[in-house]
Structure 1
Amino acid sequence: MNLPEFERVIYKRNPLIEVVCQFRFPPILKISHQEPVEFQDEIRFHYPLFETTRAQVPSEISKIVQQFGLPLQNDVAYSFKSEDQRWNLSITKDFIALTTSSYERYEQFKQRLEEALTIFERIYKPSFYTRVGLRYQDLIVRSKLGIEDKSWSELIAKHIASELYDPELSSSIQTVVKNLILKTENGQINLTHGLVAVKELQETSDEIAYLFDADFYTEQKIEGNGDVWNVLNQFNQSAGRLFRWSITDALHNAMQPQSVDSV
């Protein structure tokens, strides 16, 4: 899929609600069997909050395992969060991921990610990466943008959601969610998008919003820290193009785009 090029902008009214980057690798048992003391010591200035969670094994499987007298293995996940809890760095025996609800621009996100990955590779030395993914979730809430009077057909491109352009059908739609797996030159995109109901803090009833959830990923073997950045840079460029291609000029302008150089 060749996406058209658009000028890169930063939206003053940012629709992003979450951005996640995850690196998967062959299991490192050291992470499951030892608390990440050295790793925490190097990152705790930026991520002072720490918690441990264990994945729950389904009760049916648990009973079978216990009947055979086998040890019950629960995967452990370590989470390191920033003081405001808007940044979360998590590691398990087979992945490291950075999640934020405070994404402003790619360069800032990449810097945090690169710092964490450099420390992780030095301590745990993953053999290689089996999957690299970069996921963007945008939520268009018309009341936040002051465009409650606009119909969705004025905001979402027709080639993405043609059903919104049928007057009889669109007036009846409450929710609709589509899922597409798109092949690109450097991987794939798992794109989920559509109308969803959300509840804003100050509202008593749900509001219909439009969600774009785009997961860019590759499952090709990637060697180490140095090689992942070309992949992620391309994913970031594709993410910007895909989002802009999916919306109209009216929505683009309502989010108050600013030139990257002016921010």
Structure 2
Amino acid sequence: MLFSDRSRSHYRNAPVHEVICQLRFPTILTINSVEPADFQDAIREDFPQYARRQDIAAPKVTGLGGPNPKVEQQPPITNYNFLSADGVWKLNLTENFIALSTLRYPGWEEFARQLDKPLASFIRIYHPSFFQRVGLRYVNIVSRSRLGLEDADWADLFAPAYTGALREEDVREDAFTLCSCDLQVKLDSSCQAKIHAGPGRIKNNAPGATQDPEVKFIFDMDLSMGGNVPCTLAAGALETLHAHSTRLFEGAITDQLRTAMDPE
């Protein structure tokens, strides 16, 4: 089973590494060309740190099918970054999307509360016509050593849908150099999820950083709602995606892992 109807649980040892919420909207050119001073004033109490960077846009190919197709470089996109005082929360604003992310997830209610004011301020100041895509992504990284599960196999901790080959008796788990699963599944008439699951090592790309030798299990859920979502329904859309994420996550883990994560 991919989905579970278990009631939602809070885990003291939750494996959430990063949570990202992104809402995409039709291009608003003023965001790319004018400093968002009014927006900063509205959110500065919660996001006092500010920086901006220039992101390289993907090139545009024109004239496909003709004798002289051209690759046209697009102007850079300004990405405005607003951070909380402790650096735990980051808000990104570009001409195409607004996003909130954190590496220290406190639970859904607090995450939604952190988004409420910036999202309301963005809608009030920029008047987007609608949201083309509402996305919610959970990157979970399970460490057996952290949970006291060093003697457990991944097949003991995750459902068969994500550990198929790891369950074969004639091959040891550590014989696999790659064994991941990538799914794309419809959740309802307007929502879908892309899921990447499998064991691997987490690389630290910082110069001279010591690499972690432990093999961990990555369970990455990217849920989204498409179509033209009215601004007034954005919060409800995120609640729907969160509910789907709970069913997927609870369906992915076994009782052994659930117990080790220490449900409240």
Question: TM-score normalised by the shorter chain: which range applies?
Answer: 0.7 to 0.9
Q: Does 1:227 align with 2:229?
A: no
Which residue number corresponds to residue 11 of structure 1? 11
SS at match of 1:213: strand
Once residues 257 and 11 of structure 1 are traced to their aligned partners in structure 2, the CA distance between those partners, rounded to angstroms, is 4
For 1:191, which of 166, 177, 195 is the aligned residue?
195
Question: Which consecutive residues of structure 2, in runs of 5 or more, have no partner in the other structure?
Answer: 62-69
Q: Distance in 2 between matches of 1:206 and 1:152?
A: 17
Secondary structure at the aligned position of 1:169 is classed as coil
Q: Distance in 2 between the 1:248 and 1:222 partners?
A: 35
Conservation of the 8 A alpha-carbon contact between 2:165 and 2:179: no
Alpha-carbon offset, residue 60 of structure 1? 11
**CA distance in structure 2 between the partners assigned to 1:34 and 1:139 by the alignment:** 39
Asked if structure 1 preserves the Cα contact closer than 8 Å seen for 2:162 and 2:180, the reply is no
Say whether the 8 Å CA contact 2:24–2:97 is kept in structure 1.
Answer: yes
After TM superposition, give the deviation of residue 57 of structure 1 in Å.
5.3
Q: Once superposed, what is the RMSD of the aligned Cα atoms?
A: 2.5
Q: In 1, are the aligned partners of 2:58 and 2:74 still within 8 Å (CA)?
A: no
What's the counterpart of residue 255 of structure 2?
249
Q: CA offset at residue 176 of structure 1? A: 2.1
Shift of residue 244, structure 1, vs aligned partner: 1.2
1:173 aligns with 2:183: no
Checking the alignment, whether the CA contact within 8 Å between 1:199 and 1:207 is kept in structure 2 is: no
Give distance in 1, aligned partners of 2:88 and 2:48.
Answer: 12
**Distance verdict in 2 for CA 1:150–1:53, change over 3 Å:** same
What's the offset of the Cα at 1:115? Answer: 1.2
- Report the Cα distance in structure 2 between the residues aligned to 1:2 and 1:193, rounded to whole angstroms: 12
Residues 18-64 of structure 1, C-alpha deviations (whole Å, 9 max, x = no match):
11111000000110110011111111111111110111357999xxx
**Matches of 1:257 and 1:132 in 2, distance apart?**
29
Query: 3-state DSSP class of the match of 1:253?
Result: helix
Structure 1 residue 168: Cα displacement: 2.5
2:111 equivalent to 1:109: yes
Separation (CA, whole Å) in 2 of partners of 1:109 and 1:209: 25
**Aligned counterpart, 1:154:** 156
- Letter in structure 1 aligned against 2:243: Q
In the TM superposition, residue 167 of structure 1 has moved relative to its aligned partner by 2.5
State TM-score, norm by structure 2: 0.87
Q: Count residues in correspondence.
A: 250
Cα separation, 2, equivalents of 1:58 and 1:93: 14
Structure 1 residues 170, 238: closer, same or farther in 2, change over 3 A? farther
> TM-score when scaled to structure 1?
0.88
Identity score, percent? 33
* Gap change, CA 1:141 and 1:45, over 3 Å in 2: same
Tell me if the contact between 2:2 and 2:161 (Cα under 8 Å) persists in the aligned partners.
no
Counterpart residue number, 1:209: 216
**Contact between 1:17 and 1:139, CA under 8 Å: does it hold in 2?**
yes
2:141 is the counterpart of 1:135: no
Q: Does 1:239 align with 2:241?
A: no
Residues 69-123 of structure 1, C-alpha deviation per residue, up to 9 Å, x if partnerless? x996111000101122111000000100000111121111111111111000111
CA deviation profile, 1:169-222 (whole Å, cap 9, x unmatched): 34311332221110111411011111111269x976511110111011022111
SS at match of 1:47: coil
- Is 2:92 the partner of 1:96? no
User: What is the distance in 2 between the residues matched to 1:208 and 1:121?
Assistant: 43
- Contact 2:52–2:80, Cα closer than 8 Å, also in 1: yes
Deviation at 1:160, TM superposition (A): 2.5
